[in-house]
Chains A and B, each alone.
Chain A
Amino acid sequence: MNAPQNFDRGGRERLVVIGNGMAGCRAVEEVLARDPDRYDITIFGAEPRVNYNRIMLSPVLAGEKQFDDIVINPPEWYAANDITLISGDPVERIDRERQTVVAASGRVEPYDRLIIATGSDPFIIPVPGKDLPGVVTFRDLDDVNKMLAAADAGGDAVVIGGGLLGLEAAHGLSLRGMKVTVVHLMPTLMERQLDEAAGWLLKEELERRGQTILTGADTEAILERNGHVAGVRLKDGRDISADLVVMAVGIRPNTLLAKSAGVEVERGIVVDDHMVTSDPAILAVGECVQHRGTCYGLVAPLWEMCRALADFLCESPTGYSGSVTSTKLKVSGIDLFSAGDFSGSDGSEDIVMRDASRGIYKRVVVRDNRVIGAVLYGDTGEGSWYFDLLKKGEDISDVREALIFGQAFAMGGALADPNAAVAALSDEAEICGCNGVSKGQVVACIEGGAYSLDAVRSTCKASASCGSCTGLVESLLALTLGAEVKSGPKTMCKCTSFTHDDVRRLILEKQLRAIPQVMQELHWTTPDGCASCRPALNYYLLCAWPGEYEDDQKSRFVNERLHANIQKDGTYSVVPRMWGGLTNPKELRAIADAAEKYGARTVKVTGGQRIDLFGIHKEDLPAIWADLNAAGMVSGHAYGKALRTVKTCVGSEWCRFGTQDSTGLGVKIEHATWGSWMPHKFKIAVSGCPRNCAEATIKDFGIICVDSGYELHVGGNGGIHLRGTDLLCKVETEEQAMEMCGAFIQLYREEAHYLERTAPWIERVGIESVRQRLADAEEVRKLAARFRLSQKYSQHDPWAERAGGKRADLHAHIAQVRPLQMEPAE
């Protein structure tokens, strides 16, 4: 070996460590614990200070700790163990030939064994302004000091990145008195660790504490004023002012030294199970390594790596086989835990418990009778138990039913069966916390004749408020009645125990304004619903909060998302609106041109008095819409749970029997009602006399003109179960007919279940009740006013918006593959 000999070292091997951080020092501690005299140790640290606990920088920023509190190894430790610490002098080069490292100061240190523990670097998003003064990262004490200096001056802070680090930075800065905005690219905070439901709770809580949380927000640039950061511009055009910008969007293993020395590097420095790199004299440990394809960003794996590394260096190799990690957020007052896999994978089953009154969400993911993941919010007491089950891969079939209630409950032997557990409760035990109902009271109420969940709810109020005790009440029903339990009214879908009516009522009562909020407050048993409840909730919220609720496109069926009807071959059909069935040469010419230009294979006149172009490809939709828009036509909503058409006859203008201007009235009604979203499709017709050429008596709302005025009919439809309309009432003027039409539509919008057409709705509630409601002039006025208000926000032609480029991603391919080449689409 040609490395220089150093006789002072008593012949000991020279161990050099690059990185005076958490892994580097822990590795040294582990080696010393096994064999204190074996190595002559030198540690290089880029930071000009001793080793400290990096994860505690968050409490330092928040003012809960001082730097002195978080030092792991003081100078005396280095001295006592005869370790040379070279701090503030980063290593610049590794010379593998000579087995030396060269530091920035020019200092050269020879090694027999080298440990690289350089950690990771914060990822800086490459936007204009990223290097401005006032833009900081969150990695070491210097960063914290910069943030503290900025906080002293006060003002606004923007934290880019809503992950663990970003949120801890935001919390600290906000405690230090800054006005903080978190800008997060994804729709869910901490999306790597949290599912949508827990992310939503976290967001609510942080907003309650005064932070502004912008999700789905993409940074375009960092703005400058007088050479200092002044704000952040988002891609959607919003500017947020800032005196301090913290970038916390992720980390990257710091592999520079290893890479330039020719050591094998992929995402991190590649190591084997003994933490040895491709060069047998060089080991690596901590966040900078990649072990079996994985890079870690948490401390727990480091401890295990350091043990394996020390075992190897002291000649009793054991090997490291990877880590399962769990996360907790260090923000005081917020309890949050996540571990393992909760992506809802195949064959896995979710066990979800929500308790809205206490702000608790717990989800344990089970596959093949083993816990594979857990997300806990609000009550993390059981986190360690679930994590333990997860790491051990223990079979949980014995405790499965009671798993979600926690260890004490689940492990209570005979109590594992939830019914048995409930049977074992004393009569005084409280079942319903909201209404203070004991087990004895519930049982008495059941014995008194309340044989269903609903009956119990209405008799003794148990489970009638937040619903979190529904399971317990059901157990009591089963125990008390044996097999006699009557099933309650149909629930909305398998994700909830509430009915459509319950959900609609509670949305208004509890002022619920977003899908995840409904799911949390109403104890949904699935993390993000299913294809039945998502579109229904989207509609209920849209109807409850007009102009306020932002339509969730991903909760809509494809036809409504793409504003066209999908056909069985995957192409789409396009139906422009023809007001009251009227058209003109200009429109017909534009339709003919479009049919040719976009290769419409079939052109058909629909039953709704307009023209349907079939066989249009998804990518061509915005272009064909633009062409039709240019000729003055808008979407016919032939694809939507919405107003479809207003069919008319020619009426008094041409027909010898005509009593009123049925065509004109139809056109007016279509202009007033188009664009409205409904529980299901909605069709209107106006006939000029009782001969009824427009077939108004099989429509959702049909008008038959008579000499003395207008007969208004409701609740008809064609289809498999043909149903003729019921007469609602008779009015004298067009204005009254229009007002009643709006009122009826609004009543239907507010009270029918999603996917229930007017016919089954009226059969369910009875025509009498509808007649009664609409016999009250005041009620009619109010309903019609609410309909007009909601129309204010819904009468935008969706085609024009899309043709103008809105949501282009829904229409374009992400990329295209041609043999041997790739063409990115954007």
Chain B
Amino acid sequence: MIGKWLDIGPVTQIEPGTARTLPVEGGEEIAVFRTMNGDCYALVNKCPHKQGPLSQGIVHGAVVTCPLHNWNISLMTGEALGDDKGCVPTIPLKVDGGRIFLLREAVLGRQAAPQAA
């Protein structure tokens, strides 16, 4: 059955204060974050600055600091904070019954157009 939401597994798979990655075949990898107080967010795993893997940054509050050049990115809006300008797409996420769900169309909608062989 194809639902509106894509179940990507139990929240307990992500240690609070860290993130894990979700590759999408033919699309863009997604980073799923869990903050210290347990809230979850999903962003495309690419810093708006120079495509740094945000999933590998340090998470504090609802912000991740990019591992490449220390831009601070809001987990809620994907926007760069402070003086930096840029925005990374967010993927709607909900937690239900202890499991994480991502909005299917947002996950697949980020798939690159099929490439000519």
Contact = CB atoms under 8 A, between A and B. Distances in A.
Contact of A817 (B20, B65, B67, B107): B107
Interface residues of B, number: 51
Contacts of B13: 809, 814, 826
Contacts of A815: 8-9, 22
B96 A267 contact: yes
Interface string A236-275: 0000000000000000000000000000000100000000
Nearest to B59: A554
A816 interface: yes
Interface in A547-568: 553-559, 561-562, 566, 568
Contacts of A618: 21
A559 B52 CA distance: 13
**Max chain B C-beta neighbours (<10 A), residue from A344, A816, A817:** A817
Interface in A515-570: 526-531, 534-535, 553-559, 561-562, 566, 568, 570
B37 A196 contact: yes
Interface string A189-228: 0011011100000000000000000000010000000000
A346 interface: yes
A814 B52 contact: no
A275 B4 CA distance: 27
Contacts of B27: 817
Nearest to A187: B16
Contacts of B107: 817
A705 to B, nearest CB: 40
Nearest to B14: A814
A290 to B, nearest CB: 12
B105 interface: no
A301 to B, nearest CB: 20
A555 B6 CA distance: 30
Nearest to B20: A814
A188 B59 CA distance: 16
Interface in B8-29: 8-9, 12-18, 20-27
Nearest to B45: A570
A194 B16 CA distance: 14
A815 B11 CA distance: 12
Given A267-B96, A809-B20, A816-B22, A531 B53 contact: no
Contact of A822 (B6, B36, B39, B52): B6
Given A809-B15, A817-B6, A820-B2, A346 B21 contact: no
Nearest to A190: B37
Contacts of B76: 345-346
Contact of A343 (B17, B26, B37, B67): B37
Given A809-B13, A814-B8, A814-B13, A562 B18 contact: no
A819 interface: yes
B108 A558 contact: no
B56 A819 contact: no
Interface in B39-76: 39, 50-53, 56-63, 65, 67-68, 70, 72, 74, 76
A814 B38 contact: no
B32 interface: yes
Contact of B17 (A346, A554, A809): A554
A188 B37 contact: yes
A813 interface: yes
Contacts of A343: 35, 37, 39, 61-62
Interface in A786-826: 809-810, 812-820, 822, 824-826
A570 B52 contact: yes
A554 B22 contact: no
A566 B68 CA distance: 8
Contacts of B17: 187, 528, 554
A572 B7 CA distance: 29
Contact of A530 (B6, B26, B65): B65
A824 B8 CA distance: 7
**Max chain A C-beta neighbours (<10 A), residue from B8, B61, B74:** B61
Contacts, number: 135
Nearest to A529: B60
A344 B62 contact: yes
A85 interface: no
Nearest to A516: B36
Contacts of A559: 67
B63 A344 contact: yes
A816 B62 contact: no
Contacts of A186: 16, 38
Contacts of A558: 53, 56-57, 67
Nearest to A817: B24
Contacts of B59: 554
**Max chain A C-beta neighbours (<10 A), residue from B27, B32, B36:** B36
A331 interface: no
Contacts of A819: 25-26, 108, 111
A218 B53 CA distance: 29
A387 interface: no
A570 B8 CA distance: 23
A747 interface: no
Nearest to B78: A346
A192 B68 CA distance: 32
B60 A528 contact: yes
B30 to A, nearest CB: 8
**Max chain B C-beta neighbours (<10 A), residue from A342, A343, A618:** A343
A342 B37 contact: yes
A531 B58 contact: yes
Contact of B21 (A530, A568, A814): A814
A528 B26 CA distance: 37
A477 B19 CA distance: 44
A814 B65 contact: no
Contacts of B108: 817, 819
B2 A346 contact: no
Given A531-B70, A809-B13, A819-B108, A814 B57 contact: no
A185 interface: yes
Nearest to B72: A531
Nearest to A293: B94
Contacts of B15: 187, 554, 809
Nearest to B97: A267
Contact of A566 (B8, B16, B53, B79): B53
Given A554-B18, A813-B21, A815-B8, A192 B38 contact: yes
Contacts of A218: 12
Contacts of B24: 816-817
A369 B67 CA distance: 32
A818 B24 CA distance: 6
**Max chain A C-beta neighbours (<10 A), residue from B13, B50, B70:** B13
B20 A530 contact: no
A557 to B, nearest CB: 7
A144 B46 CA distance: 52
Given A342-B37, A813-B23, A817-B108, A555 B58 contact: yes
B82 to A, nearest CB: 11
B56 A531 contact: no
Contact of B36 (A187, A531, A535, A818): A187
Contacts of A568: 50, 68
B14 A195 contact: no
B100 to A, nearest CB: 8
Given A531-B70, A813-B23, 12 more contacts: A185-B12, A186-B16, A191-B37, A267-B96, A344-B35, A555-B58, A557-B67, A559-B67, A813-B20, A816-B24, A817-B23, A819-B108
Which A-B residue pairs are the 5 nearest by beta carbons? A344-B61, A531-B65, A558-B56, A814-B20, A554-B17
20 contacts: A187-B15, A191-B16, A192-B38, A195-B37, A343-B61, A346-B76, A526-B61, A528-B17, A530-B60, A531-B60, A555-B58, A562-B56, A568-B50, A570-B53, A809-B14, A813-B23, A817-B6, A817-B23, A817-B107, A819-B111
Interface of A: 185-188, 191-192, 194-196, 218, 267, 342-346, 350, 526-531, 534-535, 553-559, 561-562, 566, 568, 570, 618, 809-810, 812-820, 822, 824-826
